[in-house]
Structure 1
Amino acid sequence: MLIYKKMNAYDRIRLMKCTPCIKDSLMPKYVLSSMLAEDIIDEEDFRDVLSSKGREKQVQKLIEILSQKSSQAFRKFIKILDEDHDWLAETIKSIEVSDDEVESFFASRGNNPKRITSDSVQQQAYIDEARGIDVQDSVPMNRRPAAQQHVVERPQSQSKEITYEMLTVLRRNSRVVRNWCALAHRLGLSTQVNSIHMKINMRMESVDLAIIYLMEEWKGIQPKDYNLEQLVRILREEQFNDVADQLEAMYG
């Protein structure tokens, strides 16, 4: 087995938070070889994952193994996701962890992070290290310090009903179509991703129809939020500023 120091609390909480999304969308066969090559896992880990029957059990096993690795291994895993699961990588990077969550994490394991001991100091150092690494990559643009953003005041969009013409604008944007799963996560609809995937595959439809199905799910589950103003806001949160600008210019 590879020898790693334990993953710090910050990254363990991030891993726990993103586990449902990973379970919904990750295809282990696309990342295992790269994880082996990057020394994130060893051959025994590789075999353990592949010996699990079915994708869901393979993903569960992979998460269990990853949780025992270091923060360095976790960051390598995220970089691998950038290749074939870029939206998932961005989702993980965007997850925020508060000091209260870190304190609760330690408390649940019988540790007091405020205690001045060598262990707690080391744990806090790991957290500080994790928060300082690749901050430009791990912090979403809408959360970065104001000095790094060029803020442009835009007129507020009215709460107009989303029309088919607006959805056509989304479907014609290749970046939105390619990262529709990230949009689903932002809408709180990660659990619908698999069913939409299956519907498209069974009907052998174009992937851009995922946008239509996703919007239908959003309207059905959160009808009060289903309007142009909310759509533009969510698009900006996911850095789809080009299509947000287009919608505002055409329909705002």
Structure 2
Amino acid sequence: MRTAIDPISDRPAYKQIADAIRDAVSSGEIGPGEKVPSEADLIRLFNVAQGTVRNALSLLRAEGLLRAEHGKGVFVRERPPMQRKASNRFRRSHRDAGKAAYTVDAEALGIKHDVEVFKVGPDVVPDEIAERLGVPVGSTVLVRSRRYLHGPTPTEIATSYVPWSIAEGTAMAEENPGPGGIYARIEEAGHRLGKFTEDVTARMPMPDEAKALHLPSGTPVMRVLRTAYDTNGVAVEVCDTVMTADLFVLSYELPAD
């Protein structure tokens, strides 16, 4: 790791130190999960004051590059493999094979994955979701809220909303909806899926999202709001997903005609 501070640079010393550590991480000199030099070592290496080193480390923690463990030191943040949300993840062949979309993605990358269910049951539909589903404000819908993990790392939280007229009395209202997930159950209920639309936005997380996803300060999220339609053009489900932005690539295949 380079340790020289340019005294005539217009870039403050703490940012130069942050640059050096960032470069060492990018080059692999300091790998994911490895400890960065201690404050005392950085003070000696760069010949600067303690406050300058602390400002550099705080900047890198805010960027989400480093994480601090009380009493142990500062470490490079580990990131699980980035999951590619390909357009073929909703193919009927996957549902017929008993695989939900998330399982398809995880298996394609060889990722150990898990799902934690937060809530399953009827509830009042949020106004924004009611508009997308084409149901009256205040209607009852099935709400399925869960968190997905790669190994021990939470990566996304997702909440699905299905009209209660479709979900009532089906396995969709159970914690485990069965092979193929809720889309297989929707089709069994007589709504053959015709298309999906997705709106993708980026923002900073809400406090409860940051807590659920274990996000370091300064880490953005992507929100993917997906609507599923049957072949008659009726909206049968809306899924509101919040994803840790630096862990995902969203990959779509678009027709050219």
Relative contact order higher in (CA < 8 Å, ≥ 6 apart)? 1
Higher helix proportion (structure 1 or 2): 1
Higher strand proportion (structure 1 or 2): 2
TM-score (norm 1): 0.23
Mark the structure with the bigger radius of gyration: 2
